[in-house]
């Protein structure tokens, strides 16, 4: 993301009501997550450290407290072959209970539909996701 895009995201996020956003993540909590689950994609790591997490449209992007639960749940689903996603970094759940997050090979935001099957692109990247879901005007 560009510096201008980051400014736009920060401004829009901080305009959300307090109940619709989380506090920014500390460097210690980010490092602890990464020690257990691996590197956080740079754009999302910036978002966690600056904005925390919160509402985007009708969905919620995980904050650093929810993120480990999401990763455990997706990993469990992968082990049980419920999810076929690989090279995937989840950042939240859509309204249908499907995980969405980064395709680590392309940077696109994808989801796997557990009702109808298939892996689908949600947005070209993290900034595009925030724009598409309505955080950014």
Summarised one tens digit per residue, pLDDT across range 51-76 is 999 888 888 899 999 999 999 999 99
pLDDT of residue 56: 86
Helices (H), the chain: 3-14, 27-37, 42-50, 67-79, 126-132
Q: pTM for this one? A: 0.92
Q: What DSSP element (H or E) covers 62?
A: none
- The C-alpha angle 82, 83, 85, rounded to 5 degrees, equals 160
Q: What is the CATH number of the domain that holds 33?
A: 3.40.1580.10
pLDDT by residue (tens digit) across 78-127?
A: 899 888 888 999 999 988 889 999 999 999 999 999 888 889 999 999 99
Residue range(s) defining the domain that contains residue 122 = 3-132
Within 10 angstroms of residue 115's Cβ, the number of other Cβ atoms is 7
Residue 10 above 90 pLDDT? Answer: yes
CA–CA separation, 5 vs 105, rounded Å? Answer: 22
Residue 137 in domain: no
pLDDT of residue 133: 84
pLDDT of residue 60: 87
* Number of domains the chain contains: 1
């Amino acid at each position: 993301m560009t510096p201008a895009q980051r400014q736009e995201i920060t401004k829009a996020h901080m305009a959300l009501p307090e109940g619709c956003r989380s506090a920014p993540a500390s460097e210690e909590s980010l490092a602890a997550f990464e020690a257990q689950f691996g590197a956080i994609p740079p754009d999302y790591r910036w978002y966690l450290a600056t904005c925390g997490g919160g509402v985007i449209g009708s969905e919620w992007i995980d904050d650093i407290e929810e993120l480990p639960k999401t990763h455990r749940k997706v990993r469990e689903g992968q082990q049980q072959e419920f999810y076929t996603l690989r090279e995937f970094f989840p950042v939240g759940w859509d309204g249908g209970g499907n995980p969405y997050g980064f395709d680590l090979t392309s940077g696109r935001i994808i989801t796997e539909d557990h009702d109808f099957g298939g892996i689908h692109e949600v947005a070209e990247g993290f900034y595009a996701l925030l724009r598409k879901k309505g955080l950014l005007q």
